[in-house]
């Protein structure tokens, strides 16, 4: 029994470096090193392995986009940058690189969708950030209400707190609604993609998109994806082969 335990310990010790090398932090470092050395395909492979592990990060998608850009995979780069923008909407580097790769093509489609007045912040703040603001506002408002209740001279403070609680409730409701209707942006990654009126190649072909065309993913039906395209004055829907596009939900 003692010998068996010693053997198991030795096996664990021998595997420790391998296990450590498989951590997300280590893979991220290896990907950055591969990028710095000019091995962009290896960097893409390593970053994609992190994406498949289900640990999304704005900086992960940003670095993935940079790696794809270096391989001149414009559609893949744009899809990664759009995913990064969704998590880091105010990051200037992401905005600059997204604009740069958008100039490579994309059928002259828009990269943003005009938000409704109720969601005026949508293009510069995430739902989680608004949720934090709502929570802080609710906490401060509750404190003011409590202070106004305990001190009779501070009735005005209590009214301010009540107004703040109402505003926090509105922010919370808007945050929930924004999270429920989150736009998942992606891009065409094949050279061409025919857009059909319904799922299936036998259905009417409406028009053709080219590599890099930005889109909003709506739903998937088997091997087909319904997408929404934002143009200058209108929006159009259609169905494309899901393998022709890349989105990061």
Answer whether residue 127 shows pLDDT above 90: no
pLDDT at 11: 35
Q: CATH classification of 2-102, choosing from 1.10.260.40, 3.40.50.720, 1.25.40.10, 3.40.50.300?
A: 1.25.40.10
Average pLDDT over residues 149-161: 70
Q: How many CB atoms lie within 10 A of CB 29?
A: 12
Q: Residue 17 pLDDT more than 50?
A: no
Do 184-247 and 2-102 fall under one CATH topology? Answer: no
Tell me the whole-structure pTM to 2 decimals: 0.77
> Residues of the chain with pLDDT > 70: what percent?
75
> For 71-75, 115-119, 129-133, which range has the lowest pLDDT when averaged over its residues?
115-119
Q: Are residues 195 and 204 in contact, defined by beta-carbon separation less than 8 angstroms?
A: no
For residue 230, what are the CA distances in angstroms to 105, 116, 169, 207, 235?
15, 15, 32, 14, 5
Confidence class of residue 191 from pLDDT cuts 50, 70 and 90? very high
Q: Which of 18-32, 164-178, 210-224 has the highest mean pLDDT?
A: 210-224
Query: Does CATH place domain 184-247 in 3.30.540.10?
Result: no
Burial class (CB in 10 A: 0-12, 13-18, 19+), 169: middle
Identify the pLDDT of residue 4.
41
The domain segmentation of the chain, as residue ranges, is 2-102, 127-180, 184-247
Out of 37-51, 134-148, 181-195, which region has the weakest mean confidence (pLDDT)? 134-148
214-221, strands of its sheet edge to edge: 205-210, 192-196, 235-241, 224-230, 214-221, 184-188, 245-247
């Amino acid at each position: 029994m003692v010998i068996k335990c010693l053997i198991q310990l030795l096996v664990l010790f021998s595997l420790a470096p391998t296990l450590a090398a498989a951590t997300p932090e280590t893979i991220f470092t290896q990907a950055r090193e591969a990028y710095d050395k000019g091995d962009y395909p290896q960097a893409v492979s390593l970053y994609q392995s992190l994406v498949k592990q289900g640990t999304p990060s704005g900086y992960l998608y940003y670095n993935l986009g940079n790696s794809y850009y270096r391989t001149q995979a414009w559609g893949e780069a744009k899809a990664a940058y759009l995913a990064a923008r969704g998590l880091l909407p105010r990051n200037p580097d992401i905005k600059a690189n997204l604009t740069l790769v958008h100039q490579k093509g994309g059928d002259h489609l828009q990269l943003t969708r005009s938000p409704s007045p109720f969601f005026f912040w949508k293009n510069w703040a995430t739902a989680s950030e608004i949720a934090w603001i709502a929570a802080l506002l609710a906490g401060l408002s509750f404190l003011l209400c409590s202070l106004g209740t305990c001190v009779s001279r501070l009735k005005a403070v209590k009214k301010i707190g009540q107004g703040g609680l109402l505003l926090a409730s509105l922010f919370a409701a808007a945050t929930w609604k924004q999270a429920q209707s989150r736009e998942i942006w992606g891009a065409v990654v094949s050279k061409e993609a025919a857009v059909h009126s319904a799922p299936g190649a036998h259905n009417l072909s409406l028009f053709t998109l080219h590599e890099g065309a930005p889109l909003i993913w709506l739903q998937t039906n088997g091997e087909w994806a319904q997408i929404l395209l934002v143009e200058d004055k209108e929006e159009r829907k259609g169905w494309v082969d899901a393998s022709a596009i890349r989105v990061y939900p």
